A and B are shown apart, each in its own frame.
Chain A
């Protein structure tokens, strides 16, 4: 069925990097942008950025510029998000989410299909 499956929970030390993956199935992977959104415990949603799975072009939120890298692997229908120089306030659930509109529509957002989330804990 149409779904996004994310990698498992991670525990990292401050200063380390984490890479979260998101595998798409049940739809044409290269036809829809994929976004990354995070949510700190008890807090709201924060948009991190978006990737075009076809060509790999990205757009990152200013808050994460220089620390985040989003990549695509068309052979496995998987996108990944790597966040470096982790701090305690990076502790959050990280979601991947599919754009509602096909890329050809030239719209960006909102998201109609979400992964289950990946908990990333940053602690010494």
Chain B
């Protein structure tokens, strides 16, 4: 099975900061990668699909990039409501593996 490794596993940042989270696949997956946001006690929310397509309703400060094995989620200017845990997920290949998560905390 393809493994997804996220880094960092946690980070501290301030409102207004630019934040970058990385997801590395153990083998090439083209652009079949999605990003989710999950806040405590809530269900995950889809942010990005096809590596760089922003889901409808998601603020434009969220962006995704990459293909093959290396992917990035960027929050251009961190807002108070963005403090959460972010997960990448492989799709179009079984199993639909998730990365281990990256927790964004307030500095």
Interface residues, chain A, with chain B CB atoms under 8 Å away: 35, 37, 44-47, 50, 59, 61-62, 95, 97, 100, 107-112, 114-117
- Are B91 and A107 in touch, CB under 8 angstroms? yes
Count of B interface residues, CB-CB < 8 Å: 23
Besides A45-B38, A62-B1, A109-B91, 13 other A-B contacts (C-beta < 8 A): A44-B100, A45-B36, A45-B89, A61-B95, A97-B44, A100-B46, A100-B49, A107-B91, A108-B96, A109-B34, A110-B36, A111-B44, A115-B43
- Are A114 and B55 in touch, CB under 8 angstroms? no
Question: Is B83's CB within 8 Å of the partner chain A?
Answer: no
- Are A109 and B46 in touch, CB under 8 angstroms? no
Interface centre among A45, A61, A108, A110 (most CB of B within 10 A): A110
- Are A44 and B1 in touch, CB under 8 angstroms? no
Give the secondary structure class of B's interface. loop
| Alpha-carbon distance A62/B1, docked complex (angstroms) | 10
- Are A109 and B89 in touch, CB under 8 angstroms? yes
B96: which of A35, A95, A117 is its contact (CB, 8 Å)?
A: A35
Interface residues of B in 69-107 (CB under 8 A from A): 87, 89-92, 94-101
- Are B46 and A62 in touch, CB under 8 angstroms? no
Instruction: Considering the complex, give the chain B residue whose CB is closest to the CB of A46.
Output: B98
**Residues of B with C-beta under 8 A to A116:** 43
Nearest-neighbour CB distance to chain B for A105, whole angstroms, equals 11
Task: Given the known inter-chain contacts A44-B87, A44-B101, A110-B34, please indicate yes or no for A95 contacting B95, CB distance below 8 A.
Answer: no
**Residues of B with C-beta under 8 A to A111:** 44, 46
| Alpha-carbon distance A97/B89, docked complex (angstroms) | 14
Instruction: Considering the complex, give the chain B residue whose CB is closest to the CB of A100.
Output: B49
- Are A62 and B91 in touch, CB under 8 angstroms? no
Instruction: Considering the complex, give the chain B residue whose CB is closest to the CB of A99.
Output: B91
**Residues of A with C-beta under 8 A to B43:** 95, 97, 114-117
| Alpha-carbon distance A62/B100, docked complex (angstroms) | 18
- Are A109 and B92 in touch, CB under 8 angstroms? yes
**Residues of B with C-beta under 8 A to A46:** 98
- Are A112 and B87 in touch, CB under 8 angstroms? no
Nearest-neighbour CB distance to chain A for B93, whole angstroms, equals 8
